[in-house]
Copies of this chain bind each other. A is one copy, B any other.
Amino acid sequence: MKINNLLSVFAPKDVKFLPLLNEASEVLTNSAELLKQLFESQEEVVRTDLCKQIKNEELKGDKVTGRVFKALNETFITPFDREDIYELTEEIDDSIDAINRAAHKVLLYDPHRLPSCTAILSDIVREATIEVRSAVGELSNLKKTDDQFRKHCREIKQLEEKADGVYEEGIITLFKEEKDILELIKLKEIIQELEKSANKINNIGKVLKAILVKYA
């Protein structure tokens, strides 16, 4: 790691990893945008289509992840420590997977209704992915503009806390009001998947903050 730091002084401007990381966070943002549309839609045919599109994004994400790992294997000098690039990529990939799972549970369970907390949660998830994309976009000049970067990290954390509150409220309401037990089982799982998505995106934020501490 020290070696990497020393060498990085001489490293040419990275043209390999940062574009790939930007691409991965673009896929993440797209997935989250589609997820939000899915939770706002009432028509099953629209939902099915959105779910397919999210699955496609997930496959795209898998490919980008594969390209990052391949590039890591072929490159000696990286713009950040190898493990940071590795972890960042993995957390983004995990987040895309979580979004895909949340979307898929809606189709699989086909509940009679979607409680309002699901639309709110998916919108918070969407907002958080936009912050992630912005922060990743700042990685190329972290030393100059760490103010912006810091702000995005803070936003990600605040959105996670907001999601936590909405999740709790949603679960409490569900147990109080839902009289159909099958419906309750289905909706509980869907709401939990959304909360997991928010959680995973917050994990990306943690990795970003760790990178900030090291390099800014």
Contacts and interface: CB of A to CB of B under 8 A. Distances in A.
A73 B1 contact: yes
A213 B70 contact: yes
Nearest to A213: B70
Nearest to A178: B182
B214 A73 contact: yes
A174 to B, nearest CB: 10
At the interface, is chain A mostly helix, strand, loop or mixed?
Answer: helix
Contacts of A175: 109, 182, 186
A81 interface: yes
15 contacts: A1-B73, A66-B210, A66-B213, A69-B210, A70-B210, A70-B213, A73-B81, A73-B214, A108-B171, A108-B172, A109-B175, A175-B182, A175-B186, A182-B184, A185-B185
